[in-house]
Amino acid sequence: MISSTVTGINNTTSPMANETGIKLVWEALRLALRDLVEIIPDIFIALAIIAVYLAIAIILTRLVKKLFIVFKVDELLKPILKHTYFSVTNLVLVLMNIGLALIALYSIVLTLFPAQVHTTTMIINYAARVASVIFLIFFIFIALNSVVERIRMEAKLRGFILLVTLFMTIVPLLDVTALSQEVKTALAWGISIGIGLAIGVFAAWYFFHEILEEKLSTKKKES
């Protein structure tokens, strides 16, 4: 008797559970479709803004290339930048396209998400700081490579310059780390003092090593 009652309850609740599950799935699908319909205009606006700025970037890229070819900018600056691995035209085009991409991003945010402008500005500022540090590191090493190729240096001098350059690149890297301001200041001061002392000692040895060697040799002879 009890088993037949339980079986009857299970038979009645099973269709109800299935029906409830179908309703939940349908409700979730309906809400997802409603949200998708609501954001479709925003998606089209963002795509339109991207298409406009993409067309502007293509037109400006072709125009700048033609102007640089007509005025022979790369050929004029080739004696100065012959030790670099990029051309002025490519550098200008990259910077111009990055600027247009940032303008397009701000246009989309201002149009669709005006409340997120401050957050977007903070993210772009941090990305710009990281990019500037990377560019500075590359510039220092390219300049060092150019100096080494132009001037015949001893192995010790070349190694010392590389070491100083490495320490100099550590200082701007501290600016983009998540360390506290006190730790950043202490590390920057320590590295700066260390670089100054190293340059001073090396300069004294480099310019006066002959005099020091003569004095040491005379002392050895006298003793």
List pLDDT tens digits, range 88-101: 888 889 989 998 99
Name the DSSP class of 126: H
Pick from 7-21, 114-128, 198-212 the range whose average pLDDT is largest.
114-128
Does residue 10 have a pLDDT over 70? no
Q: How far is CA 54 from each of CA 120, 133, 151, 178, rounded to the nearest angstrom?
A: 21, 28, 45, 35
Please give the single-letter amino acid code of residue 4.
S
- Rounded distance between C-alpha atoms, residue 161 and residue 172, angstroms: 18
- Rounded distance between C-alpha atoms, residue 13 and residue 21, angstroms: 12
As a whole number, the mean pLDDT across the chain is 78
Of 102, 105, 83, the residue nearest 94 (C-alpha): 102
- Looking up tokens 């090493």 gives 141
Residue 54's CB: how many other CB atoms inside 10 A? 14
- Rounded distance between C-alpha atoms, residue 110 and residue 126, angstroms: 19
Q: Is residue 89 within 8 Å of 65, Cβ to Cβ?
A: yes
3-state helix, strand, coil in the chain (%, to 5): 90, 0, 10
- For the chain, the structural domain boundaries read 21-112, 114-223
Query: Which pLDDT value is given to residue 129?
Result: 83
Does residue 56 have a pLDDT over 70? yes
88 Cβ neighbours under 8 A, 6+ residues apart: 68, 73, 74, 77, 81
Of 76, 128, 70, the residue nearest 98 (C-alpha): 128
pTM, rounded to two decimals: 0.61
Query: Which pLDDT value is given to residue 156?
Result: 66
Q: What is the mean pLDDT of residues 52-74?
A: 90
Q: What is the mean pLDDT of residues 198-209?
A: 77
- Rounded distance between C-alpha atoms, residue 33 and residue 45, angstroms: 19
Does residue 9 have a pLDDT over 50? no
66 vs 4, residue with greater confidence: 66
Q: What is the mean pLDDT of residues 197-206?
A: 79
Query: Which pLDDT value is given to residue 59?
Result: 95
- Rounded distance between C-alpha atoms, residue 132 and residue 139, angstroms: 10
Per-residue confidence band for 35, with pLDDT thresholds at 50, 70 and 90: confident
Query: Which pLDDT value is given to residue 2?
Result: 43
Q: What is the mean pLDDT of residues 176-202?
A: 80
- Rounded distance between C-alpha atoms, residue 16 and residue 99, angstroms: 59
6 vs 217, residue with greater confidence: 217
